[in-house]
Structure 1
């Protein structure tokens, strides 16, 4: 005869406790640089919102450059290799 399939439950599962330390993908410096890049992008959008003057130099030239610099710094934070321990 066929055997009955018993669905594993929390009571029947054997849990193995793993005490190994968790290794993150990036280093602390990478996350710091990424946080700074997010703040720079937010600053660029804040400058872009500006006043009611639509065609001001700050809105058309400076703010997009600040946003692009923030995105560039974010890409650098992602691609930067963590320091060897």
Structure 2
């Protein structure tokens, strides 16, 4: 009888819900794409300067994507998965 009561009170809920994990994956994808866009632009010859390192993609777009990805991560962590559910 006591063991059955303990099983009833045992809560197998995860801390994060399905919606939280979706936003986390979106954030990770944004961060990964941002870092991929930042890479490259090197020169084959170290004595030759390559102005590609100052392109719009590396200076503006990629860091913005990374920051947006971190924003998604923060939102995913702070999102309440039990907002619409009734508790007894």
Structure 2, unmatched stretches of 5+, are 43-51
Q: In the TM superposition, what is the alpha-carbon distance from 1:41 to its structure 2 partner?
A: 0.2
- Contact 1:50/1:59 (CA < 8 Å) preserved in 2? no
Q: In the TM superposition, what is the alpha-carbon distance from 1:51 to its structure 2 partner?
A: 3.3
> When the two structures are superposed, what TM-score results if normalisation uses the length of structure 1?
0.71
- 1:51 corresponds in structure 2 to 41
Which one of 20, 26, 41 corresponds to residue 16 of structure 2? 26
How many residue pairs are counted as aligned between the two chains? 70
- 2:70 corresponds in structure 1 to 71
Q: In the TM superposition, what is the alpha-carbon distance from 1:30 to its structure 2 partner?
A: 0.4
Structure 1, unmatched stretches of 5+, are 1-15
Larger radius of gyration: 1
Task: Give the ranges of 4+ consecutive aligned residues of structure 1 lying more than 6 Å apart after TM superposition.
Answer: none
Relative contact order (C-alpha < 8 Å, sep 6+): which is higher?
2
